[in-house]
């Protein structure tokens, strides 16, 4: 069953979680949803506290009326998700479909410096 996190902007982010330990956040690709991560949630949940959420315009996430979907909005959503769940990371490794501009938006939000492509250190 999915949980819902309401952001300050009014978005309702649908997400699932499994396991315990250090947090891992999974981000699906365009046209996907959290179901893309079903096996991964189970397997990684044996060692980590794993979260997967539906991006804006996908799955069961409900966007606020004033939202536009684009790279910056998706970075904002990830930021709101991490802050809303009070998740603290010392290190990010981002991969899959994220394009460079989205990644640099995330770096800006968290005050991170790029150490190598799609990897950031605090």
Secondary structure class of 16 (helix, strand, coil)? strand
pTM confidence score:
0.73
The reported pLDDT for the residue numbered 6 is 93
Q: How many Cβ atoms from other residues are within 10 Å of residue 106's Cβ?
A: 21
Location of structure tokens 């790029």: 114
First-last CA distance in the chain: 33
CATH 3.40.1160.10 matches 3-88: no
For the residues 44-62, what does the mean pLDDT come to? 87
pLDDT at 111: 60
């Amino acid at each position: 069953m999915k949980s819902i996190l309401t952001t300050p902007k009014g978005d309702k982010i649908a997400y699932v979680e499994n396991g315990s330990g250090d947090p891992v956040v999974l981000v699906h690709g365009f046209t996907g949803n959290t179901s893309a991560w079903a096996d991964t949630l189970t397997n990684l949940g044996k060692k980590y506290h794993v979260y997967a959420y539906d991006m804006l315009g996908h799955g069961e996430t409900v966007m606020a009326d004033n939202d536009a979907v684009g790279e910056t909005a998706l970075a904002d959503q990830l930021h709101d998700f991490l802050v809303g769940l009070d998740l603290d990371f010392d290190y990010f490794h981002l991969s899959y479909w994220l394009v460079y501009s989205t990644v640099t938006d995330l770096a800006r939000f968290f005050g991170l410096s790029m150490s190598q492509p799609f990897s950031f250190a605090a």
